[in-house]
Amino acid sequence: MLTEESYQTQYLDLNSIKELPESHTWTSLQDDCTDCLSNESESLPIIDLNDPDVLALVRHACETWGVLQVKNHGVSLRLLEDMEAATTKLFSLPIEQKLKVSLSSSNDISGYRLPKISPFFPKFMWREGFTIFGSPVEHAVKLWPQDYKPFCDLVEEYGKEMKNLAERLMWLMLKSLGITEEDINWSSLGGAAIQLNSYPVCPDPDRAMGLAEHTDSSLLTILYQNNTTGLQIFREGTGWLTVQPHTGVLVVNIGDLMHILSNGLYPSVLHRALVNRKQQRISVAYIYRPPANVLISPLPKLVDHYHLCLFRPITWTEYLELKSKHFTNTLSLIRISGSPNVVS
């Protein structure tokens, strides 16, 4: 099994390796990716959040794609670019420095770490990650003993702006399903993690995987990607589609918990990240979730004689625990038996 410990004992510095090691060599990537870019016409819509028809646009994108792109979202380009620069700076530190803030116990969630999904795949991914949960100060002091404050201030500002946007997006999604504020009493209490990702330049990108396919366990994830292609979403009947980056545009993934809340109407999107040999790719994911111990279940308004309740109630904490063992099977495990497989 791939563990944090086995990785650390190898001290692999992806930024300096000139040849793809066996431990990071994936097979069959080429095959499932051959027509990734041949479906340009099927491009994901970019929604202007000031559009008077925003609810209908959001509903259509969520139902059809499980993901949307948004502009005029209120987060300044300056803040997004500052976060990108800070992320680049963090990952350009020497590996010994980064390992000082790697996970120290299995209960740890913040720090420099392997993707949580690593144990489900036979090979390592071509990606470095740093997870921020709560204040980053303890780690920032170890990374930049003399100059940790600018990073902490920036993370705080980013977290505040993203929380506002996440709540707004959550309400747009819920309102587009006819849900009103009275139907939910925990909405402003949700929490979040910020996931910084770096995909270094790769000597053999066709045989490497940046971040393997997964759905997010969140309600929704707001993803900033720098101007380097790599993010792909899976579309039933079509295959993998590249989500081209656009300046200032944010990608919003539907997560598994929104899938549950919406009684399957808004599917959580399967996605992955590929790498390339020319440019480092940076992404920053704001992973927005409900309060840890609130029971999440399909909203009663979305359940009736024709739309049977598809999932049993579950807290985010329990969901994460199940997902760490069962990964992509988790949603089907909490499905109420006898419910139809597809809702329309």
Ligand X SMILES: O=C(O)CCC(=O)C(=O)O
Give dist(CA 236, CA 81) in Å, integer. Answer: 33
Nearer to ligand X, 169 or 223 (CB): 223
Smallest gap from Cβ 257 to ligand X, in A, equals 14
Residues 125 and 209 sit within 8 Å (Cβ to Cβ): yes
Smallest gap from Cβ 197 to ligand X, in A, equals 5
Among Fe ion, ligand X, none, what does residue 225 contact (CB within 5–8 Å per kind)?
A: ligand X
Number of C-beta neighbours around residue 180 at 10 A:
10
DSSP 24-56: G--SSHHHHHTTTTTTTTSPPPEEETT-TTHHH
> By rule CB under 5 A, what count of residues binds Fe ion?
1
Q: Does 225 bind ligand X (CB under 6 A)?
A: yes
**Which residue is catalytic, options 281, 289, 312, 335?**
281
Q: Does 219 bind ligand X (CB under 6 A)?
A: no
Nearer to ligand X, 102 or 244 (CB): 244
Output the six-digit token pair for 115: 């993707």
Spell out where the chain has E strands: 46-48, 67-71, 111-113, 128-132, 191-199, 211-214, 220-225, 231-235, 239-242, 250-254, 271-273, 281-289
Q: Does 271 bind ligand X (CB under 6 A)?
A: yes
Q: Is 281 a catalytic residue?
A: yes
Q: Does 216 bind Fe ion (CB under 5 A)?
A: yes
CB closest to ligand X, residue no: 283
Q: Which residues bind ligand X (CB under 6 A)?
A: 195, 197, 211, 216, 223, 225, 230-231, 271, 273, 283, 285
Residues with active-site annotation: 281
Q: Which residues bind Fe ion (CB under 5 A)?
A: 216
